[in-house]
Amino acid sequence: MRTAQPTRPAVRARMFWPRQPASRAPQAPANAAGRLSYVPLGCACLFLLGYLPGIWLGRTGAWESGSQLAAYYLSKSSYSTVFSVWQWQFSAAFLQLAALYLCSFSALGCFFFPILFFLRGGFLGLCAACVLAAGESRGLVCYWLLSSLSNLSVLFAGLWLSGYSAAISNGLFQCVFSGGAARGQLAGAFRRLTIRFLFCLLLAGTVNLVNGWLSVFLAGVLL
């Protein structure tokens, strides 16, 4: 005789009820990555917007500090050796990239990044206006040729770095105000940011070394 098979209500219940997914670590919302992808674009727009007050401040050339700054950029003695040019250009690049890197350790870092790029744009606009007032169009062309490579390399490196910095700042913001970020999200973001920060420093040092050699050569011809 065949033994009676026990009923299995759990199996039958699964036929009518969907299986519950296994528990997973909380993940960041899908639209968060989309929002962070606009951070470099917004910082670039604010960098360009910062040019306007900088040009307005230096348009007359009457500002004493601006006149001294223009005299420094247009002086041939400022480009005496490759090492001296590399030293002050790399110092400026290091300060900008380090400020961006350190702001990522704040939960409000996403509010600081645009301010940094806006101030940087204002400073470069001020320099360009002061140089134009002191040396006219020829002085402005010399200024661009001597410093544009260094400034552009730091700008693009900072914009690239700002996206990863914003990811960490956004994770810290979630920890403070939204109940915590996804498990392992911050550790991986810190590691990626640090590697890219060191790469940007290496890139800035290399570009400034090349620009230092070009500046010494061009200063001997143009100034």
Radius of gyration of the chain (CA): 27
87: CB partners within 8 A, 6+ apart:
none
Share of the chain above pLDDT 90, in %: 29
d(CA 149, CA 47) in angstroms, rounded, equals: 17
pTM value is 0.76
Number of Cα atoms under 13 Å in the Cβ half of residue 87: 7
101: CB partners within 8 A, 6+ apart:
161, 165, 193, 197
- Tell me the pLDDT tens digit for each residue of 139-158: 888 888 888 889 999 999 99
Whether 123 and 49 have beta carbons less than 8 Å apart is answered as no
- Tell me the pLDDT tens digit for each residue of 99-127: 999 988 887 777 888 899 999 999 999 88
Distances (CA, A) of 62 to 11, 43, 58, 125, 133: 86, 30, 8, 15, 9
d(CA 52, CA 119) in angstroms, rounded, equals: 11
Average pLDDT over residues 3-11: 50
| Helix/strand number for the chain, H first, E second | 7, 0
Which range among 62-66, 76-80, 105-109, 177-181 shows the weakest confidence by mean pLDDT? 177-181
Select the more confidently predicted residue: 49 or 166: 49
Tokens 């290091």 sit on residue: 94
Burial of 123 (0-12, 13-18, 19+ CB in 10 A): middle
